[in-house]
């Protein structure tokens, strides 16, 4: 039951404070006296939209506050569900700034507008033209049945039990989502573990070694050509280095009898020739060992892809 209505800065009302007596209260007046304005102000605490044109003074906010006696309405479960302090005399307040911003309160607790609307719909029933449409509303049917049955304690207990059920259902849904996610994580981790096991990662330097081998295979032709050119320049060409050294050696041997220095130089040239022939053999062996193997290169690339992905 509405016991008091306070209105500030709404339409033609600068400030108004109305107290209602128990039982029936009747407000009468001529057209334009402000009866509809009172209903418009009341609609603000019923959660209706704000029309900024109804705020005459932009220097102050609009405030509508209603005091309701709700002891017989069995709303304790609603207050508990929405974490609002319950009181037999409950105050609903709506504040609208000049910019159109709105705030709603229930017993000085800030609430969202839908919560205010849900509560006020259980406190105030406006009857006007076409209200007979309520007769087709299933929720209205339940309201009438509950009112006729007069079972407030049973209804309150049911609402509390249903609220508990909804909370537990929500918690169950959360746990089910967590279980499904945990199963997905476990499956993914098991898949990764299986891949790691199949990869047989035994050599910590395997990736570096494979990188070097693949680089060598990818450049095998260039390496082979360079080694072959070196062997050719040292030994196989008409003017090879070994041939030039042989010519120098023969020339020095021809004059070695004239000086010990010439003989020593001839010996050093001979030692250099021997060393260079060994060097040519190593170059030839290195060239022969170079293999152009696309299959091995593909195999290494595949293995490196596995290592990089893991």
Query: pLDDT tens digits for 91-141?
Result: 999 998 877 788 999 999 999 999 999 898 888 887 766 666 667 788 878
> Tens digit of pLDDT for each residue in 248-273?
888 888 888 888 888 898 889 889 88
Q: CA dist 56 to 60, 61, 98, 193, 286, Å? A: 9, 10, 9, 72, 100
Low-confidence ranges of the chain (pLDDT < 50): none
The pLDDT of residue 133: 67
Superfamily designation of domain 2-126: P-loop containing nucleotide triphosphate hydrolases (3.40.50.300)
Q: 287 with 231: CB under 8 angstroms? A: yes
User: What's residue 131's pLDDT?
Assistant: 65
Look up the pTM and report it. 0.46
Q: Domain residue spans in the chain?
A: 2-126, 206-309
What pLDDT does residue 101 have?
85
End-to-end CA distance of the chain: 71
pLDDT for 104 equals: 93
pLDDT at res. 56: 73
């Amino acid at each position: 039951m509405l016991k008091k209505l306070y209105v500030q800065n709404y339409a033609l009302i600068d400030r108004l404070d109305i107290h209602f007596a128990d039982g029936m209260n009747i407000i009468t007046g001529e057209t334009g006296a402000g009866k509809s304005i009172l209903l418009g102000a009341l609609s603000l605490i019923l959660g209706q939209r704000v029309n900024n044109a109804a705020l005459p003074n932009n220097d102050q906010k609009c405030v509508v506050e209603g005091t309701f006696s709700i002891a017989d309405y069995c709303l304790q479960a609603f207050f508990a569900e929405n974490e609002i302090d319950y009181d037999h005399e409950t105050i609903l307040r709506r504040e609208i700034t000049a910019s159109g911003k709105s705030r709603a309160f229930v017993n000085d607790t800030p609430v969202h507008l839908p919560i205010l609307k849900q509560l006020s719909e259980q406190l105030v029933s406006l009857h006007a033209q076409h209200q007979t449409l309520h007769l087709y509303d299933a929720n209205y049917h339940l309201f009438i049945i509950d009112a006729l049955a007069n079972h407030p304690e049973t209804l309150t207990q049911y609402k509390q039990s249903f609220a508990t059920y909804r909370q537990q259902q929500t918690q169950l849904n959360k746990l089910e989502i967590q279980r499904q996610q945990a199963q997905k994580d476990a499956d993914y981790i098991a898949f990764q573990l299986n891949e790691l096991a199949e990869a047989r990662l035994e050599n910590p330097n395997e990736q570096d070694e494979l990188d070097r081998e693949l680089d060598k295979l990818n450049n095998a032709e260039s390496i082979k050509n360079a080694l072959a050119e070196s062997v050719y320049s040292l030994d196989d060409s008409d003017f090879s280095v070994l041939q030039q050294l042989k010519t120098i050696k023969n020339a020095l041997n021809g004059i070695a009898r004239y000086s010990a220095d010439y003989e020593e130089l001839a010996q050093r040239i001979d030692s250099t020739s021997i060393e260079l022939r060994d060097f040519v053999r190593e170059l030839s062996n290195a060239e022969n060992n170079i293999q152009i193997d696309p299959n091995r290169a593909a195999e290494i690339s595949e293995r490196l892809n596995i290592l990089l992905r893991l």
